[in-house]
Amino acid sequence: MKEKAYRSDRMKTGHANAGNRAFLYGVGLDREEIRKPFIGIANTWNELHPGHKHLRELSAAVKEGVLSGGGQPFEFNTIALCDGLAQGHSGMCYVLPSRDLIADSVEVNAYAHCLDGLVLIASCDKIVPAMAMAAGRINIPAIIVTGGPMLGGAFEGRRMGGGWMVREASSRVMRGELSEEDYERMQKSVCDGVGSCPMMGTANTMSCLMEVLGLSLPGCGACHAVTAEKLRYARRSGKRIMEMVERDIKPRDYITEPAFANALRVGAAIGGSTNMLIHMPAIADSFGYTLTPEQFDRIGDTTPFLVNVIPSGKFTMREFEQAGGVPAVMKELGEEYLDLGQRTASGRTWAQELEACPGSACSEVIAGKDRPLRRDSGLCVLRGNLAPVGAVIKRTAVDPGMLCHRGPARVFDCEEAAVDAIKSGQIRAGDVVVIRYEGPKGGPGMREMQNPVTAMISYGLSGCAALLTDGRFSGASHGPCIGHVAPEAAEGGPIALVREGDLISIDIPSKSLTLEVSEEELEKRRREWTPAPPKAVSRYLERFRFLVTDAWRGAVMEVPRRPEE
């Protein structure tokens, strides 16, 4: 009986590859191990932050699964940045660009070493979508094991959802409401061990959506980092990749356009991060599909918001997992909202998976679709002459009094200048703070504007002044924070034409964002406009600035086209 042919055979069989086999013998393999399918385990372990410090243990469990399934595992590493550690300095410029670098590194290793399959291990904000992008690009059997949320801490009886709560509490220290000693104790209470932040921020949003797409086993996304069940998910994923390799099941074979629609639906229902609107188009592009602002808006408007988890609710990811996690949300949405014929990473359809799902174990955490937390999603796309392509806001995080707002523009060409103005008392109630040249090209790197958000909260402005930017926000941001304004200032978008004192009208119920300046005046300003000088950056960021697309196309590094194309 003829043995199955594997991709790795092209580098390890026959006389021509004897030298290659010599290197494989050199790492300690024997003849029978070399004949097995080669499974790459892309691990983003590092010791710098809690999101990835535990991933060696998960990798070991994956290897056990691969070996039991008859494969030969090879672990390799790639980088993983922490958004939390990059806040407040120029390091944030590198966080979104790192996503393409991670995907590139996995692609390079998979092709160079002719791997037969991939298990991709990641936890945090940009790393999980980077692994999904790699899976779509390379299109060999692949499965993602997400690292899982950390256990949520508590301070003075309040659940702690992440480092953003500590940043925002700095205002209490300034006002003398919290001592330095208690503030130190608060800082130690947030991250109660390893894992991603215990809220529905970007990391956990994207981990949950990997289940829906079919890249992670159902239930994996909300399964916590420190649990034995997470080790079982890792081991089962190792076994499952061997079945996928034997049957040659590749991501593009079963992850179709309706799977992306399902992911957007679930993202809306769980109150996902605004960064989802950057990452999902980037992942879709890797699979050969296009997602548009109109799709986000249409799905958001027709999907009930069900999940009561920080920052849009009061519970942590632990309670979400205990209430049933993503499968319980999908069971609640049902065929009315989802295409349950789409296949999961297990090989079964969602309809088959959900037959065994009991549904939500707690209606306080996961509401019923007939009594949702609200009738539409938390995310909303705004358009108007200030954002012709679109801008995004998390409407569930906006004070009702700010849903409609009209105020004078206070214009800044970088994040730092805006923060200085807020802290020096230059911003007043009613103002609209405009921070531009912070988009994908202008930043470069589209920094999170967490510092201005924190400053506005600290100085009592979050409920009476708005913030508008071509940059983006942390998954924890709340208040009238409008991001992803496109076209961005660096590309001559209307946000580049705003002048100090111009009136800006924000109408979230009507989804409009208007610069109250005549088209004639705007055209005059366009003719006079000169871009702000490019910021001095590293070679990698310069390359990113040159190649990156706009936020609504996923802020991916586009391949330059030849002149004849």
* C-beta separation of 550 from 391 below 8 A: no
* C-beta separation of 475 from 51 below 8 A: no
CATH topology for 36-152+192-355? Rossmann fold (3.40.50)
Token pair, residue 87, equals 């806040």
CA distance 299 to 96: 25
Taking residue 465's Cβ as centre, other Cβ atoms within 10 Å add up to 23
Q: Which residues are catalytic?
A: 474
Taking residue 145's Cβ as centre, other Cβ atoms within 10 Å add up to 34
CA distance 1 to 201: 52
Three-class SS state of 382: strand
> What does pLDDT average to in each consecutive run of 10 residues of the chain (565 residues)?
79 95 96 97 95 97 98 98 87 95 98 98 96 98 97 77 72 80 83 89 96 98 97 98 98 97 97 94 97 94 94 91 97 97 98 93 92 91 97 88 95 96 95 97 94 87 93 80 96 98 97 97 96 89 95 91 57
How many helices and strands, by DSSP H and E, does the chain display? 23, 14
Of 333, 396, 340, nearest in space to 369 by CA:
333
For residue 11, give the H/E element and its range. Answer: helix 9-12
Whether the ω angle into residue 444 lies within 30 degrees of 0, i.e. cis, is: yes
Q: What angle do CA 27, 47, 114 make, to 5 degrees?
A: 35
Per-residue model confidence (pLDDT) at position 1: 31
Taking residue 491's Cβ as centre, other Cβ atoms within 10 Å add up to 16
Residues near 356 by beta carbon (within 8 Å), at least 6 away in sequence: none
What is the pTM (predicted TM-score) of this model?
0.95
Which residue do the tokens 């996690």 mark? 325
Token pair, residue 361, equals 């174990």
CA distance 124 to 147: 8
Which residue do the tokens 């034409």 mark? 497
366 Cα distance to chain centroid: 22
* C-beta separation of 95 from 126 below 8 A: yes
Q: How far from each other are the two terminal CA atoms of the chain, in whole angstroms?
A: 48
CB burial readout 420-439, b (16+ within 10 A) else e: ebbeeeebeeebbbbbbbbb
CATH no. of 379-553: 3.50.30.80
Per-residue model confidence (pLDDT) at position 105: 98
DSSP notation for 315-327: B-HHHHHHTTHHH
Parse the chain into domains and list their residue ranges: 1-33, 36-152+192-355, 379-553
CA distance 404 to 504: 11
Whether the ω angle into residue 311 lies within 30 degrees of 0, i.e. cis, is: yes
* C-beta separation of 299 from 265 below 8 A: yes
Per-residue model confidence (pLDDT) at position 562: 59
CA distance 121 to 110: 15
CB burial readout 395-406, b (16+ within 10 A) else e: bbbbeeebeebe
Per-residue model confidence (pLDDT) at position 2: 45
